[in-house]
């Protein structure tokens, strides 16, 4: 998922670029957040969560691993992303729990979302998501890394994204073995 809703988003372009860099055997399903309402328990009905939230939760639950691409807004993650995570964090099913994940982000400034990614890691720890540590994909000065059509054209960034995906695949196997073991951590 990408934490930006705008059409020309560098973060959504970064997410789309992963489709070209996936290792063999890995597939990408993009989750959209534009129809997720603001978190409000009054929206819960007898049918449960709002339909768009149910879809989001089901997509997270079905994924072997998660890839979250976040912009940085005022040194943190955008409300759009936090809101979606909050909806998906609620019981009863806890779709995030125990999932392997990788994060990355693109910013127009020099810092490449490093502060937002630190906040995102902190949030995901609460949800018992197992976030990959390396490589850190911090796409700084994003205007120079994408062409006018939103294609990721920076060779170095493509190399880091490909490594992140490779490591996420390996990490997913490690976590799956751990979760299947009798000593798996309490959720």
Ligand X SMILES: Cc1cc2nc3c(=O)[nH]c(=O)nc-3n(C[C@H](O)[C@H](O)[C@H](O)COP(=O)(O)O)c2cc1C
Please identify, using beta-carbon distances, which residue of 10 and 171 lies nearer to ligand X.
10
| Nearest approach, Cβ of residue 109 and ligand X (Å) | 4
Please identify, using beta-carbon distances, which residue of 38 and 184 lies nearer to ligand X.
38
| Nearest approach, Cβ of residue 183 and ligand X (Å) | 40
Please identify, using beta-carbon distances, which residue of 12 and 89 lies nearer to ligand X.
12
Rounded CA gap, 93 and 82, in Å? 19
Rounded CA gap, 155 and 12, in Å? 18
Please identify, using beta-carbon distances, which residue of 68 and 175 lies nearer to ligand X.
68
Rounded CA gap, 159 and 145, in Å? 13
Residue 143 CB: number of other CB atoms within 10 A?
8
Rounded CA gap, 157 and 139, in Å? 7
| Nearest approach, Cβ of residue 133 and ligand X (Å) | 21
Euclidean distance between the first and the last CA atom of the chain, given in angstroms as a whole number = 23
Whether the bond into 135 is cis, omega within 30 of 0? yes
| Nearest approach, Cβ of residue 34 and ligand X (Å) | 13
Residues binding ligand X (CB under 6 A): 4, 6, 9-11, 71-75, 107-109, 111, 142
């Amino acid at each position: 998922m990408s934490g930006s809703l705008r059409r020309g988003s560098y973060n959504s372009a970064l997410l789309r670029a992963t489709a070209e860099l996936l290792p063999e055997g890995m597939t990408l399903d993009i989750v959209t957040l534009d129809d997720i309402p603001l978190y409000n328990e009054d929206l819960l009905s007898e049918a449960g969560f709002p339909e768009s939230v149910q879809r989001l939760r089901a997509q997270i639950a079905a994924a072997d691993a998660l890839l979250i691409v976040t912009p940085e807004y005022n040194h943190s993650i955008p409300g759009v992303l936090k809101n979606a995570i909050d909806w998906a964090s609620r019981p009863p099913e806890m779709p995030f729990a125990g999932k392997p994940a990788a994060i990355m982000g693109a910013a127009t400034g020099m810092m490449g979302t490093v502060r937002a990614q630190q906040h995102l890691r902190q949030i995901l720890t609460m949800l018992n998501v197992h976030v990959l540590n390396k490589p850190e994909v911090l796409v700084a000065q994003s205007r120079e890394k994408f062409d006018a059509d939103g294609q990721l054209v920076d060779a170095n960034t493509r190399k880091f994204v490909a490594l992140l995906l490779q490591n996420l695949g390996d990490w997913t196997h490690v976590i799956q073995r751990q979760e299947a073991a009798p000593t798996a951590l309490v959720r």
